[in-house]
Structure 1
Amino acid sequence: MGADKVLAGAIDLRFAGAGLAPGQVNVAYRLYPSWRGLGLATRAVVLVSQYAASEGGEEAVIQVEPENPASAAVAQRAGFTPAKQPPSKDGTRFDWYIRDLRVAIE
């Protein structure tokens, strides 16, 4: 990276994974503290959701640790709604947020 470029965080998109149904994609993200509160995570989630839809994804899932309300707020600002969480095999609990990718994403 050049002197004028700084890593702000990361976004991860997976088209398969534990607990995902066919057609579901998993979206995960993180931002470094100095970049939080600027809308970057929300914008990244919207963009990666648009990409997932263009590649055949039907429903996006964001799994949020219950103790992380800021991450849940990102999901909701990006158009995701709370959903029932399927039980995990290892007992880990996440709050699920989903978004239908078959409708227009803005």
Structure 2
Amino acid sequence: MRFTGEGLAPGQVNVAYGLYPSWRGRGLATRAVLLVSRYAASEGGEEAVIQVEPENPGSAAVARRAGFTPGGRQKHAKDGTRFDWYVRDLRVDTPVTTC
């Protein structure tokens, strides 16, 4: 989790995660995203952002299960890599499906 970074507006928080293959499919990443989102909100974060490589449907699924919605595609200025953004308003308590 980062409160500042390339492409982030004031109040946005970048959330990133990764799991070894043997730990995937257990809901751990979704649970971690929910916990870090709650913490970010308590520290003044207004919107959480998850940046997903378009070729990574598993990571996009984690974002959706954690209550994030598609927020468009962004390109990083440094290397031109494109990411699909998923966003979640941290100022409202959004119900989510965790599994």
TM-score where L is the length of structure 1: 0.84
Identity %, equivalent residues: 79
Tell me what 1:98 maps to: 87
Counterpart of 2:21, as a letter, is P
| Bigger Cα displacement from structure 2, 88-97 vs 46-55 | 88-97
Any gaps of 5 or more consecutive residues in structure 2? none
Any gaps of 5 or more consecutive residues in structure 1? 1-12
Deviations 1:47-99, CA, capped at 9 Å, x for gaps: 00000000000000000000000000000000000012344313110000000
**What are the within-5 Å matches in structure 2 for residues 43-82 of structure 1?**
43-82=31-70
Aligned mates of 2:31, 2:76 — CA distance in 1? 29
| Bigger Cα displacement from structure 2, 76-85 vs 48-57 | 76-85
Poorly superposed stretches of 4+, deviation over 6 Å: none
TM-score where L is the length of structure 2: 0.90
C-alpha RMSD over aligned residues: 1.1
* Secondary structure of residue in 2 paired with 1:85: strand
